[in-house]
Amino acid sequence: MSDKKFVFDWHAHSGKFLDWFLPTVLAGASNEQMERLSENTEKFSEVQLQVLVNGEEVNAENFLQSVERNMEHIAISEAKRMLDSVGGLDALEERIAEIRSHLIEQVEDTLRKRGIELPTREDGW
């Protein structure tokens, strides 16, 4: 086997990049293709991945690692952008606390309007 191919057990990558990579790649496969692939990979426990660029084989494991790193970088950048858009983590936590308090007040008001008496906050509520 070429050192550029990568063999892995899809079932052994719980919660990791390869968990969703394979289903993403196979999303357009027909039922017949999926049955053949399942048979040829021992039910996806011995998946051999080969990456070709214009017919030229490149190192599949390096390719996967690079895709994973790039996706992590994009996710981190987007998370930072989203936090910055609300004024940072402290501002986000403050906003979440405000929303939580508002929701609690709405639920309490709704329950009181329906005749359900709630203990006061002073009583330990």
Residues 25 and 65 in one domain: yes
20 pLDDT more than 60: yes
> In the structure, what pLDDT confidence band is assigned to residue 124 with cuts at 50, 70 and 90?
low
Distance of CA 49 to the CA centre of its chain: 22
Looking at residue 8, its amino acid is: F
pLDDT of residue 8: 83
Strands 51-53 and 56-58: antiparallel
The more confidently predicted of residues 118 and 80 is 80
Specify whether 80 is located in the same domain as 94: no
**How many domains is the chain built from?**
2
Residues 6+ apart with CB under 8 A from 123: none
Residues 51 and 112 grouped into a single domain: no
Closest residue by Cα to residue 50 from 2, 1, 5: 5
62 and 102 in a single domain? The answer is no
Give percent above pLDDT 70 in the chain.
91
Interval 56-72 mean pLDDT:
92
- Where in the sequence is the domain holding 81, given as residue range(s)? 1-85
Strands (E), the chain: 6-8, 47-49, 51-53, 56-58
Is there a single domain that holds both residue 60 and residue 1? yes
Looking at the structure, tell me whether residues 19 and 66 fall in a common domain: yes
Same domain flag for 55 and 16: yes
Q: How confident is the model at residue 6 (pLDDT cuts 50, 70, 90)?
A: confident
Total-model pTM: 0.60
Mean pLDDT of 22-48: 90
Average pLDDT, the chain: 87
Distances (CA, A) of 61 to 6, 51, 79, 83: 6, 9, 27, 33
